Structure 1
Amino acid sequence: MLPKVNQFLYLHVASSDDEEASTEYKSRISDMDNDELLIDIPLVEGTGKYKRLFLGDELSAHFVTQEGVKSYFNTHVLGFKEDGVKMIRIRKPDQESITKVQRRNFLRVPAELEMAIQLASQIRFIAMTDDVGGGGISFITDGKWPMQSGTELECWLLIPYRNGTVDHAHFTAEIVRVKSLESGRNQVMAKFSSILDSERQRIIRYCFERQLDFRKR
């Protein structure tokens, strides 16, 4: 069963930050067409705190049918629409993609990819990713580099595809969390703060290919 207009959606946003990823938001479907759902700006129930979403953000959603069954699907933000109030355009799920089992590991895959990073201070270095997704990345880096929450990074990610071609994705990212490792290195989790949709689609393509590889194992 597909979601309907005026039905509530409960959302989780894919994030490298565990606290943000575990937060559930509530929204309402305002309208729909063949390919999209238009939803209200999500908020945290009981607090009235709104969640700002960005183009390409990956979402795990569920709605409750009239029979009381939770139905889950994965989607992403396509854009926004102003019609008196701001609404968010998300990809409408196919019937076949809706499940009674929650799946929130979509489009974020473990991957060791080479990435060049530049800080505002003109410091440049190479790091290896820990995982990548359409909304952000995590990477491992030497503890000598100044990493802290809120720092903006300019990044160039090297992306190898299954057909043997290699591409690059350029973006800026904001650090949301830094974890010190026993090795003296840091695990850095960051979300995209500025990225062209074409660059994001390169990363998403890689993630889908990786998912296919995992399923074949």
Structure 2
Amino acid sequence: MLPKVNQILYIQVASSDEEEAKIEYKSRIADVGENDILIEIPINEQTGRFKKLFLGDELSTFFITEGGMKNYFNTHVVGFKEDVIKLISIQKPDPDQVTKVQRRSFFRVNADLELAVTLSGQIKFLAVTDNIGGGGVSFIADGKYTIKSGDLLDCWLLLTYKNGSIDHVNFKCEIVRVKPLETGRNQVMCKFSDISDTERQKIIRFCFERQLDYKNR
């Protein structure tokens, strides 16, 4: 499903500035063409300030459809148009590049990412993710740490995007399963128990980029 005229588009702009990359803007879709989508200048509702976009800016976006379904896609600025108001032209995604997100249908991608884990508020260790998605994470941990299904973890995940920017994502998760490996380490599978929409969107953006890499190989 593609966005339609008058729908609200929620936007985050890829930036090397970590704080800037976290800001969510809103824009109204003014027109949908064959190859592009025209949107109004995005606004930060918290400050009331408009966001100036430049040609080539990479955007992580979503729009909401019936039942609160969030539809995510990545795009970039391809031009500008002077109408009654100034409009911004962004690349129209292919329908298969729009991912519907609901709690039971998050897709995951394989990824080796650094993860800082705190268990029971005391034990801290570093791990490497096995896969990641909008609904949870799987990671490999040293077998010396005593962890079991049902344990709650506080985690910081380091994400690296294609444009070289870096994000840190904080979330709490619950261990669903611990699988011992022949190497003496454990594969730990978790589902998110407490994560903000903003933090989840960062992970989904990363997954989109990784999924597109797989498709283009």
Please give the range of the TM-score, normalised by the shorter of the 2 chains.
0.5 to 0.7
For the residues of structure 2 that align with 1:204 and 1:214, how far apart are their CA atoms? 15
- Secondary structure in structure 2 of the residue aligned to 1:150: coil
Structure-to-structure mapping, 1:28-39, within 5 angstroms: 35-38=64-67
CA shift in 2, pair 1:165/1:35, >3 Å: closer
The answer as to 2:158 corresponding to 1:136 is no
Aligned to 1:204: 204
Alpha-carbon distance in 1 for matches of 2:206, 2:99: 17
Alignment of 1:110-121 (within 5 A): 110-121=110-121
Establish whether residue 76 from structure 1 lines up as the match of residue 105 from structure 2. no
Partner Cα distance (2:180, 2:107) in 1 = 25
The letter for the 2-side match of 1:205 is R
For the residue of structure 2 that corresponds to 1:38, the secondary structure is helix
Match for residue 181 of structure 1? 181
- Provide the secondary structure at the position in 2 that maps to 1:162: coil
Contact 1:108 1:134 in 2 (8 A): yes
Q: Which amino acid aligns with 1:76?
A: V
How far the C-alpha of 1:200 sits from its partner, in A, is 0.5
Query: How do 1:84-103 and structure 2 match up within 5 A?
Result: none
Indicate the residue corresponding to 1:213 in structure 2: 213
Q: What SS class does the counterpart of residue 208 from structure 2 fall into?
A: helix
Question: Among the aligned pairs, what percent are the same residue?
Answer: 55
Q: Distance in 1 between matches of 2:144 and 2:204?
A: 31
Q: CA deviation at 1:192?
A: 0.2
Pairs aligned (count): 131
Q: Offset at 1:146? A: 1.3
- CA deviation digits over 1:173-197, x for unaligned, max 9? 0000000000110000000000011
Rounded Cα–Cα distance in structure 2 between residues aligned with 1:203 and 1:121:
24
Q: Determine the C-alpha separation between the residues in 2 that align with 1:122 and 1:35.
A: 39
Distance 2:99 2:167 in 1: 26
- 1:77 Cα shift? 2.9
1:107–1:208: 8 Å Cα contact kept in structure 2? no
Give the partner amino acid of 1:36: T
Structure 1: which 5+ residue stretches go unaligned? 2-33, 40-54, 57-72, 79-89, 91-103
Hey, what's the Cα distance between the residues in 2 that align with 1:201 and 1:74?
A: 12
Amino acid at match of 2:156: W
TM-score, normalised via structure 1 length:
0.55
Q: Deviation of residue 119 (structure 1)? A: 0.7
Separation in structure 2 between the aligned mates of residue 216 and residue 167 of structure 1, nearest angstrom = 24
User: Could you tell me how far apart the structure 1 residues matched to 2:203 and 2:211 are?
Assistant: 12
Q: Is the contact made by 1:116 and 1:156 (CA closer than 8 Å) also made in structure 2?
A: yes
AA partner of residue 115 (structure 1): L
Deviations, residues 106-134 of structure 1 (Å, cap 9, x unaligned): 63100000000001141100000000000
Measure, in 2, the Cα distance between the counterparts of 1:107 and 1:164: 23
Q: How many Å apart are 1:38 and its aligned residue?
A: 2.6
Which AA in structure 1 matches 2:101?
Answer: H
Give the CA deviation at 1:148.
0.4
Q: Which residue of 2 aligns with 1:167?
A: 167
The equivalent residue for 1:99 is: none
CA distance in 1, matches of 2:121, 2:214: 39
**TM alignment of 1:3-22, pairs within 5 A:** none
Counterpart position of 1:123: 123
Q: What is the deviation of 1:147?
A: 1.2
1:46-76 deviation line (CA, Å, top 9, x unaligned): xxxxxxxxx98xxxxxxxxxxxxxxxx9622
